[in-house]
Amino acid sequence: MILVAGSANLDFVVRAHHIPGPGETVLGQQFCTYPGGKGANQAVACARAGGAPTQMLLALGQDAYAEPLLDSLRSAGVVLHTVLAPDQPTGCAFICVAGNAENAITVAPGANAFLQSQHLPDLAGVSHLLMQLEIALPTVMAYAQAARARGVQVVLNAAPAQALPDELLQAVDVLIVNEGELAALVSHPGSFVLNLAQLAVPCVVVTLGHRGCVARVGNTFLTQPAFDVQAVDTTGAGDTFCGVLVAKLSQGAGMVAAMRQASAAAALACTVAGAQSSIPSAAALAEFLALAAPNGVDDEADLRRYCGLG
């Protein structure tokens, strides 16, 4: 079983021709609200796309914004450990999605910041603890160390990007980052391979957007080129990747197979608007993989070259 401890936000999404720059006003074309938050997105991905038994620890305000989040998580089959934060609103995110499917996000954490070390539920039966950085860093550290002491695999998606203390990284078994987040974690940013070498974590997985992803497992590098889809909205694609990767690892898959499943799920998530609403079902993911053409030799070579792996 997977326990996700993290954020839940209601996403306020505006589609526009482009993301505004500083001081610029852009007229949007469409406005919608969607259930979101990195923690909640990843919990839904674990359960819905990954097909893994999933629980989530989250904090919500006592307001109307909480209801869509609870409904979405429950409909995906996620078992909830809900902490109600007094005098705090449910977390919200304000998202602009550009015509090229890229996005810019501002998060108001609200109740998410209320999660504390004493809120961690019993870890009996939990194989993997999955966390992000949209809750307080001391809380993340306390949960990671408690899980490590119980023999639970700790997976950290170090997003949003920030420097992390060595004590936290020492309690992490699998670290998932994008390129910017990877650079923020190292003392002396350099080449891709040098950045990875500076992290004393047994396994680091780096997502590379439309290029794919790469993992360092010990001293071995594994690559997975991206699947080609017509992107509509990239919101939640990284969270879908994280959730499905951990789901497959919890089910006994090796890293190569887990990366392939996670990459396919993330690609599918880009074809539908919204965060949790875009996460595919396990059946849709299986169908997509059954019909997907195998990645070509050129795709693999290009990805390894980009990563400096020769």
Q: Among 27, 63, 160, 59, which Cα is nearest to 105's? A: 160
Pairing label, strands 9-16, 28-36: antiparallel
- Does the active-site annotation cover 233? no
Q: What are phi and psi of 19, to 5 degrees?
A: -80, 130
Measure the CA–CA gap between 237 and 260, rounded to whole angstroms. 14
41-54 b/e (C-beta count within 10 Å ≥ 16 → b): bbbbbbbbbbbbbb
Q: Residue 36 forms beta bridges with which residues?
A: 9
- Residue 17 DSSP SS3: coil
Q: Which two tokens stand for residue 186?
A: 């190292």
Q: Residue 226 forms beta bridges with which residues?
A: none
Measure the CA–CA gap between 139 and 141, rounded to whole angstroms. 5
Q: Which of 11, 173, 233, 239 is catalytic?
A: 239
| Residues carrying an active site annotation | 239
